[in-house]
Amino acid sequence: MRTILVTGGAGFIGANFIRFVLNARPAYQIINVDSLTYSGNLENLAGLERDERYRFVKADILDVAAMGPLMEEADAIVHMAAESHVDRSILDSTPFVQTNIAGTQVLLDAARKAERMGRFLYVSTDEVYGSLPLEDTSVLFTEETPLAPNSPYAASKTGGDLLARAYHHTFGMDIVTTRCSNNFGPYQFPEKVIPLFVTNLVEGKKVPLYGDGLNVRDWLHVDDHCEAILAVLEKGISGEVYNVGGNNERSNLELTHSILGLMGCGEEMIEYVCDRPGHDRRYAIDASKIKRELGWEPTRSAWPEAMAATVEWYKANAEWWQRVRSGAYRAYYEQQYGAR
Ligand code: NAD
Ligand code: TYD
């Protein structure tokens, strides 16, 4: 039996990862530690409460006293607790620096002291590399691309990424890092573009497209990301970084047209709004290393089928996102952006 401590397991990727691992690895146990911020939601894990291989602990990763004993119970940690939304980091970067940098340091120190703890996997992001030009589509992010984060979110993730690197180098800790592109799939908080646009359209609202809509993202289904994380956890080489991507570059305008088509809506539902400050133009991942070395490649991200299935999930699970959108989230969102 192998016990994995997952941080941030009540969020979008965390909840999908826990479900994925419990399915794929019957001999694994999972401890999920999450402080349940606005984006953490135990409903994302509904049904697992009675699974003996799963345990939830409500705690903040900044809480040194709570993290120490948890580390002693686990053989490995997959650290993905984070403040994760670029727009929020522009409004207030404080929680980003606290959770994504200081929180990562707390976990690294706790892991270093824990006798049983083996591998530490840091879930990073392709946003640490900054932005690529639109003009030359042959240029991709490789693991050697210099780190040049542009948003406070990306800078805080880079801080955690570099701390993980330094703890491997300085203390010889067994640390691996994944840098993944934009994920899509079930249980994504409806502030991110895909669930925001789908849920707006269900409610008859327009979709706010930033700037000229030509910014490009590389879209990967969350289950492909989960499989990649598991592959790096089990087979990755200590100290190495692995890019993870979908070979699935789409402009936001193309993505929006695809969602409009799937929802049976027309162009008139697009509202061009002013651009995000410092908006990265293009992300595109060279994921050849993880394929070559660990045999992973995406199999669930095919376009447009995977996107259509995701849109269907949000249509079929309106109760989930209506609850998520109410309360604290809605109050915060309307205060910052006005009602959309
Ligand atoms: P999310 O916002 O949906 O989930 C984050 C989770 O972390 C939430 O459950 C939240 O409650 C928890 N959390 C936040 N601060 C905490 C703290 N101080 N202590 C304990 N728990 C805390 O985010 P996500 O989209 O699932 O992203 C998960 C990870 O993957 C992040 O590290 C993110 O940087 C990375 N990532 C995300 C994407 C993407 O497209 N979503 C792509 C690449 C990498
Ligand atoms: P997002 O889902 O916030 O992810 P990230 O910023 O981490 O890539 O945004 C994806 C793209 O969609 C990004 O280029 C910004 C754009 N976007 C909009 O055009 N309108 C929106 O309301 C949001 C949230 C994002």
Tens digit of pLDDT for each residue in 91-126? 999 999 999 999 999 999 999 999 989 999 999 999
Nearest atom within ligand 2 for CA of residue 209: 19
User: What average pLDDT does range 251-275 have in this prediction?
Assistant: 98
Examine the pLDDT at 328 and tell me if it is beyond 90. Answer: no
CATH superfamily assigned to domain 2-188+219-249+283-300: NAD(P)-binding Rossmann-like Domain (3.40.50.720)
Q: Is the dihedral of CA 87, 88, 92, 97 positive or negative?
A: negative
- pLDDT tens for 20-54 read 999 999 999 999 999 999 999 999 999 998 999 99
Across the chain, what does the average pLDDT equal?
95
Give the separation between CA 149 and CA 157, rounded to whole angstroms: 9
Give SS3 for 14.
helix
Q: What is the residue with the minimal CA distance to atom 12 of ligand 1?
A: 8
What is the token pair recorded at 242? 């692995």
pLDDT of residue 325: 85
Question: What are the backbone dihedrals phi and psi of residue 178, each rounded to the nearest 5 degrees, phi first?
Answer: -115, 140
Is the Cβ atom of 182 under 6 angstroms away from ligand 2?
yes
Is residue 174 annotated as a catalytic residue, yes or no?
no
Contact partners, residue 111, CB within 8 Å, separation at least 6: 71, 77, 117, 120, 173
From the list 330, 336, 329, the residue with the least C-alpha distance to 37 is 329
Is the Cβ atom of 222 under 6 angstroms away from ligand 1?
no
Is the Cβ atom of 193 under 6 angstroms away from ligand 2?
yes
From the list 144, 162, 161, the residue with the least C-alpha distance to 79 is 161
What is the token pair recorded at 252? 């936001």
User: What average pLDDT does range 272-282 have in this prediction?
Assistant: 97
Residues 242-271 as b or e (16 or more Cβ within 10 Å = b): bbbbbbbbbbbbebbebbbebbebeeebbe
Is the Cβ atom of 123 under 6 angstroms away from ligand 1?
yes
Residues 202-217 as b or e (16 or more Cβ within 10 Å = b): eeeebbbbeeebebbb
Is residue 127 annotated as a catalytic residue, yes or no?
yes
Is residue 153 annotated as a catalytic residue, yes or no?
yes
- Find the 254 Cα to ligand 1 centroid distance in Å: 26
- Find the 81 Cα to ligand 1 centroid distance in Å: 5
From the candidates 34, 126, 191, 280, give the one annotated as an active-site residue: 126
From the candidates 127, 223, 249, 280, give the one annotated as an active-site residue: 127
Is the Cβ atom of 37 under 6 angstroms away from ligand 1?
yes
Q: Which residues pair with 31 in a beta bridge?
A: 5, 55
Is the Cβ atom of 228 under 6 angstroms away from ligand 1?
no
Which of 80, 248, 324 for a ligand 1 pocket mutation test, highest count of atoms within 8 Å of Cβ?
80
Examine the pLDDT at 306 and tell me if it is beyond 50. Answer: yes
- Find the 123 Cα to ligand 1 centroid distance in Å: 9
Give the separation between CA 83 and CA 99, rounded to whole angstroms: 7
Give SS3 for 109.
helix
What is the token pair recorded at 194? 């895909």
Give SS3 for 58.
strand
From the candidates 54, 129, 153, 314, give the one annotated as an active-site residue: 153
Evaluate whether 79 touches 33 at the Cβ level (below 8 Å).
no
pLDDT of residue 340: 45
Q: What's the burial of 46, exposed, middle or buried (CB within 10 Å: 0-12/13-18/19+)?
A: exposed
User: What average pLDDT does range 298-320 have in this prediction?
Assistant: 96
